Structure 1
């Protein structure tokens, strides 16, 4: 069963959360108070199924798409229901199904007004989380460009309601801003999807990614199509200067929503750059890379600098993510196998560290009723476990050796240095700035004398320890033993370079046969 590639594992991982959401919404009367229990049980079942599916994944062939399924969906338009994951896709699917039960457990006591209404509000919230989980799994597994686009847009619906109905005082503004930015990028991408199909082979499988790779497109056409896709992904990622929706959304959304939004959904942007932009538009990717690298470096420094000056804890974490996504984009477009491996791994590690930070910040807000950093101080003495876990998550965010993010950030910088030394050197400043925004925040919130109104603040409960414990454990394990994750992303990185037509400047095995990367036409990269 574990190695049965014919079993529809990916469809199962999509259907189970959807059925769970339907069950939660269908709960009658008094049973609605058990909505959270049902949702957690469904999410844990999904996690178990994902682990079982992953055990049947052939790591030695991680560059190939496995667990594949394909059914003709709309043959008249060339649309297929086609699923499959390579090593990168599998890693992001596992990240998604890991974070969802933790988010649901973290939200166990959120929305206190839900108790008075028989669990009505919380029922809607947890059902939306399950719907979003299904979409997240599907989008990372989609192998049909049109299917990918449909899922890319469909994810907006549950997130819009999760922010607009359950967020803070300015939740409607934040939700609408998020929606408008995303829809704008999606509409431009839709034009690119249609144009790409018209230039493809057509037929009942005309939107399959493998049928669209290697098209002989006119130079101008390819570059315009690349820009259409890239802009949508840059907004989703988010990159400077199309990032402004993120701080507002993170500030107003419930902490669990921010975990899924920043920890997983935003990875769809960088995942799309890696798995669609580069293989579908190789010449345009090489053409745009110098400008994109500049934008990535600006994102790194801009996000870090603005994080240092934030007064709101949620906005601070959001700006740190702008900086971290800059590292991911830099690794992708540096066109080195090492940097692409680092970027792929960074997508997972960022989800772990930032997810933990948002959850812990949410626990702080639940205790104090505010996210203003100035309203805290000295909590280390009264909440040592909360302080310790926040410190570990923060140290992971600044890429301390021994924690998972260090491995991915190191690979990005080393790989980038082999192809673009100035970009790598300037990007390294982001590491220094990260130490400032993490340690200064920890100092303000947890050190110093205890504020009188915080003297009785409770430490993490058993439930809350179960929420952050798996994330801390994952950071430590992948920090000291990243080999299993690297085995998933190494071969896909090599295949990506081949598709882009770039000779690796620093082969994965560490040989230094070349000091510059060259394109397939022999020009320096």
Structure 2
């Protein structure tokens, strides 16, 4: 136990701020926005302090907090941080102020707000951030499950209550039903896992205690039972990720949500699914992970190619970006279940880099779409002549999405492919086709929207100071991590070596 509850304070800041934002008088919308932004900045600073206290050469789990919660069933409020959790924790905390800045006027123009609509919008953003932060440090299976499900509620209201277009409510319901179904299956697996632990002593939900059983004599259950439990966890995480063929909720939700909400969902919340594959699937069920790895890698390759091909045929800019995320998530899952240190390190780095690159591309596209009021690619042309900064930042974000060398996603995708080739060379070769496809859909989209003569009806303004700040921060991050990936890998490598070593 640490003298200062670093991890508890980390999630309490945005959680308390979400309530404080709601308490701001209805006519003080600007105050509510400023409070939300200030709280997100404080959370980001606290996250950096947590990172400073974390030692890459230290034990796997650090800053441990463990308090008995429900003694009768062996549940505890247990938090701890490893290198993988640290990378995603920093992504979440540092991206939140950017999203709040990008979404500064989103609640005002959604057309669905009440007198306190702005307050509720930013409170929901902060509540989602708090729950995601808990999920990256929770080391009690039951605690993780509760947060895993609870984060769906604020996101549901962000999509349905503030989304645009006639299908926002339907997209929100689809998002909720898909993820609740995954959670229901996971709940059955959580209960089954608890029952299995009772055969070796007092039942427990502790990740460390169950891990010791697994590394010792193993869980007291048949291989078929453990396979079923593994699949129960995997199903929920694959829905959240999302992995083909459980992906269809994502494009609808991303298109319906406001840009800031969509990025929070795709760049941050969905990472909980791939993170949990590492944290729970590989650690609790190593033999089942190895058994099903070839099948999962096939599904991942299908996601990679499917997402890229479908993106090429899109006429809706936001839907195109959503399908690119499906392709990128396929790469992340592929690296995880390649079961190599390089693949898993690349996947973790990919989670961070995808979060930044998707945020940049989606938010910059959102700045453009908000002006024009149309998501159709055909409604634009020659935009670079009237909005050169917007065009330039979009191009850099697009080049990052196609993993151009020198930008952050390149090294993570490179590590995933190398790590995969060691075990599954055919999968690595097929997945690499997506590099060509991604160049096609990004460059073709840029040419149609920003090149040629200007023909869109109505003027297009260039990015203002707030929008330039948002885009500049994200592009700077892409450049820094592209040149210095060790900033993340130095913390991630020791953590992933634990998984790859136990799965050999």
TM range (shorter): over 0.9
Which is further off, 174-183 or 7-16?
A: 7-16
The separation in 1 between residues aligned to 2:345 and 2:466, in whole angstroms, is: 35
Describe the superposition over 1:439-475 as per-residue Cα deviations: whole angstroms up to 9, x where unpaired. Answer: 1111111111012525x31111110111121111111
Residue 148 in 1 paired to residue 151 in 2? Answer: no
* Partner residue, 1:241: 245
* Partner residue, 2:269: 265
* Partner residue, 2:317: 313
The separation in 2 between residues aligned to 1:86 and 1:119, in whole angstroms, is: 43
Describe the superposition over 1:225-279 as per-residue Cα deviations: whole angstroms up to 9, x where unpaired. Answer: 0000001001000011010000000010000011110001111111111110011
Contact 1:32–1:118 (Cα < 8 Å) also in 2: no
* Partner residue, 1:133: 129
The separation in 1 between residues aligned to 2:178 and 2:26, in whole angstroms, is: 38
Describe the superposition over 1:4-27 as per-residue Cα deviations: whole angstroms up to 9, x where unpaired. Answer: 943111111111111111111111
The separation in 2 between residues aligned to 1:38 and 1:223, in whole angstroms, is: 47
Contact 2:91–2:268 (Cα < 8 Å) also in 1: yes
**Following TM superposition, by how much is the alpha carbon of 1:116 offset from its aligned partner in structure 2, in angstroms?**
12
* Partner residue, 2:442: 438
**Following TM superposition, by how much is the alpha carbon of 1:426 offset from its aligned partner in structure 2, in angstroms?**
0.5
Specify the SS of the correspondent of 1:199: helix
* Partner residue, 1:410: 414
* Partner residue, 1:173: 170
The separation in 2 between residues aligned to 1:363 and 1:129, in whole angstroms, is: 19
* Partner residue, 1:277: 281
* Partner residue, 1:505: none
Contact 2:312–2:441 (Cα < 8 Å) also in 1: yes
* Partner residue, 1:491: 494
Pick aligned residue for 1:220 from 221, 224, 230: 224
Residue 41 in 1 paired to residue 38 in 2? Answer: yes
Contact 1:72–1:204 (Cα < 8 Å) also in 2: no
* Partner residue, 2:108: 112
The separation in 2 between residues aligned to 1:219 and 1:19, in whole angstroms, is: 44
Contact 2:338–2:423 (Cα < 8 Å) also in 1: yes
* TM-score of the superposed pair, with normalisation by structure 2: 0.96
**Following TM superposition, by how much is the alpha carbon of 1:481 offset from its aligned partner in structure 2, in angstroms?**
1.1
Specify the SS of the correspondent of 1:196: helix
Contact 1:404–1:479 (Cα < 8 Å) also in 2: yes
Contact 1:114–1:121 (Cα < 8 Å) also in 2: no
The separation in 2 between residues aligned to 1:120 and 1:440, in whole angstroms, is: 42
The separation in 2 between residues aligned to 1:29 and 1:251, in whole angstroms, is: 29
**Following TM superposition, by how much is the alpha carbon of 1:195 offset from its aligned partner in structure 2, in angstroms?**
0.5
**Following TM superposition, by how much is the alpha carbon of 1:33 offset from its aligned partner in structure 2, in angstroms?**
3.8
Pick aligned residue for 1:54 from 51, 61, 64: 51
Give matches, 1:97-108, under 5 Å.
Answer: 97-108=93-104
Specify the SS of the correspondent of 1:112: helix
The separation in 2 between residues aligned to 1:112 and 1:185, in whole angstroms, is: 33
The separation in 2 between residues aligned to 1:244 and 1:432, in whole angstroms, is: 24
* Partner residue, 2:480: 477
The separation in 2 between residues aligned to 1:218 and 1:494, in whole angstroms, is: 27
Describe the superposition over 1:284-326 as per-residue Cα deviations: whole angstroms up to 9, x where unpaired. Answer: 1111011111100000000000000011111111100110011
The separation in 1 between residues aligned to 2:324 and 2:99, in whole angstroms, is: 20
The separation in 2 between residues aligned to 1:85 and 1:397, in whole angstroms, is: 29
Contact 2:107–2:113 (Cα < 8 Å) also in 1: no
Shift >6 Å, 4+ stretches: 114-118, 202-205
* Partner residue, 1:360: 364
Residue 422 in 1 paired to residue 429 in 2? Answer: no
Residue 287 in 1 paired to residue 291 in 2? Answer: yes
Instruction: Structure 1 unaligned segments of length 5 or more: list them.
Output: 503-525
Instruction: Structure 2 unaligned segments of length 5 or more: list them.
Output: none
Count of matched residue positions in the alignment of Structure 1 and Structure 2: 496
* Partner residue, 1:467: 470
The separation in 2 between residues aligned to 1:116 and 1:321, in whole angstroms, is: 28
The separation in 2 between residues aligned to 1:274 and 1:6, in whole angstroms, is: 29
The separation in 2 between residues aligned to 1:336 and 1:43, in whole angstroms, is: 35
The separation in 2 between residues aligned to 1:157 and 1:116, in whole angstroms, is: 18
* TM-score of the superposed pair, with normalisation by structure 1: 0.92
